[in-house]
Structure 1
């Protein structure tokens, strides 16, 4: 019996050694070093684009004949976006979950936390209200009367969604207008009926005047959401990454440039593409089944992790959400300002950006990145941070 156990142990060690050898002997992909001009040329060739720096250029990209953008609609949409009276319990606005501080006057609904007693502000929101993130920084969203999302889903940023083709984590919503409509009606969001919403807005003399100017029409549920859609299209950010793509070689660091080269070379840009670096497609996650079970080549420890995952995701899937049609199909998140939108993934299970990069490399690309490569990619992601552009809006249709 002892001899059998001994031989079993020897065989187990040999099998494990072979598996580990395969992981470590796999040659790493070497990403070329590029000059600044060649890197920019490569990024543009691969479909990466800077955000429009003028309102006229923005119109060319996002204006819609079924709901033309105008100054009066944008002003109206902004007022509606921040109005907590448009939820059932008059506690929630669009900015409650999609918080930002565009004019540094704390207009977002979360600003009440800044003015609360000190012991109530010891959380991420209190420090990050001024972040141009467009999220609430909570693990999962909470709507009217603190009603949680039924699947405990993390809030996605509303910034730069003007360039998105898909919305919500399942990607099944195809327009900002539809998403606005759904948010008003959902019990775990604004929780108000279309009729009640129109009635409340119509009681305001100021709103009646603004709708008359913006639409030359009555206040309707459709027009409310059209105004919000137009306003959200102006919530576009611009930062160092955009300046680099537009020709400024000094805009980003050498580490960030290597990170951009890694981002392109390893294949991240295959899903995170176009102006928004995301929101363009629905993809399976996790894609690499072989990486789901055992992680044999560690990045953060001296010894291999023999961590058994749950068979669904490389993290605990609190909320039980499985994507579109329960087939692990998810809208590809927008990466702009991603370093300001933690925690990550659909249920906010991953708190740190470096960990999120590591998860994506392993389970989407099937690659074990070095610590240096991860740091370089994070340095690049930080160049995607940007402030909301204050466009000069002259015309009024």
Structure 2
């Protein structure tokens, strides 16, 4: 009898181990009734998603910085600096080299390339600058609180623009046009490294985008087709919105990645019908050993303080910012969605569900609004 009890206990331990290691993974029930547009909109707004304002007066209430008040003159100065290669050591690159406004606000490279063609030594992918002012954290490890502070990093990094604050100030002071502009915008400080990055940050605060999703949230029932609405519903129902929230649909927090690790020999094929969990079977998978990610650990970057904490990416224009993840090793958005579902939510999505979520993500595409700044 004792032997039977021991066997039962051992089986129970195995089952619990499989469960907590993700081998029983719930797949969202596909047989649900999609809420109508009004109900879906109400739910999205109640869960923290919000439209980007169409008018500057409304946008200003969202993006203005009390420590760097926005003015038309400051924004115009920041725009000049953003596109001026004077801020790079060899005068060949500018902010727009890695943050191309017509390409989703990034450079579409796996890793950023800077001064003399040097790649980022951590193999880091350039985050988008579009809507970055809506985020509470900047950089992959969230070390900067705002876009003004963030602008200081690339200018000084030896593998990016390779300048020093002193060199920046000296170059700009040698230009009478910049001396005049800074005197008007910053009459007390004039040209300093801080006023340079404040001007750039002011311009970046205007780089908000709008698309179909914003029109939907504002009341246009036809802005999203049925597939995109199903994707939005799934996005909220399975928990994506827990991290990808706010007007920027991300960028509000640091989160552990991966939250779940699947490094064993077995992985689930599929599971779950009508929300009832049950064992469905396994397929063989090559063991990953100690790899911290569901893809190769190229660059060795492990997030904030090496604790695998990363800033949640902004999903606006995500369809235009491939490749994905901090080291840019995932080319396809569909694969990124699958990896996030599996390793962050413990879910195995089928092709239809992935397609629905991608359809929703496409509704987040948009070009800079082009505000009439007053």
User: Could you tell me the TM-score, scaled by structure 2's length?
Assistant: 0.88
- The residue correspondences of 1:1-397 to structure 2 (distance < 5 A) are 28-29=28-29, 32-101=33-102, 131=103, 133-217=104-188, 218-289=190-261, 291-294=262-265, 296-298=267-269, 304-311=283-290, 312-394=292-374
Q: 1:139-160, CA deviations, whole angstroms, 9 ceiling, x for partnerless residues?
A: 1011111111111101100100
Greater length-normalized contact order (CA 8 Å, ≥ 6 residues apart): 2
Change (3 A) 1:49 1:310: farther
8 Å CA contact retained: 1:317, 1:349: no
**1:261, 1:28 → 2: CA distance?**
11
Mind listing any 5+ residue stretches in structure 2 that lack a counterpart?
A: 1-13, 271-280
Change (3 A) 1:24 1:287: closer
**2:166, 2:84 → 1: CA distance?**
17
8 Å CA contact retained: 2:136, 2:146: yes
Change (3 A) 1:310 1:224: farther
- How many residues of Structure 1 are paired with residues of Structure 2 in the alignment? 345
8 Å CA contact retained: 1:283, 1:329: yes
- Report deviation, 1:327: 0.9
**2:34, 2:176 → 1: CA distance?**
62
- Report deviation, 1:297: 3.0
- Report deviation, 1:185: 1.1
- Report deviation, 1:181: 1.0
Residue 210 of structure 2 aligns to a residue whose secondary structure is strand
Q: 1:363-384, CA deviations, whole angstroms, 9 ceiling, x for partnerless residues?
A: 0000011110000000000000
8 Å CA contact retained: 2:27, 2:349: no
CA-based RMSD of the aligned residues comes to 2.2
- Report deviation, 1:293: 3.4
Change (3 A) 1:381 1:264: same
- Report deviation, 1:221: 0.9
8 Å CA contact retained: 1:292, 1:363: no
Residue 296 of structure 1 aligns to a residue whose secondary structure is strand
Match of 2:9 in 1: none
8 Å CA contact retained: 1:166, 1:175: yes
**1:208, 1:195 → 2: CA distance?**
15
8 Å CA contact retained: 2:133, 2:146: no
**1:183, 1:283 → 2: CA distance?**
24
Residue 304 of structure 1 aligns to a residue whose secondary structure is strand
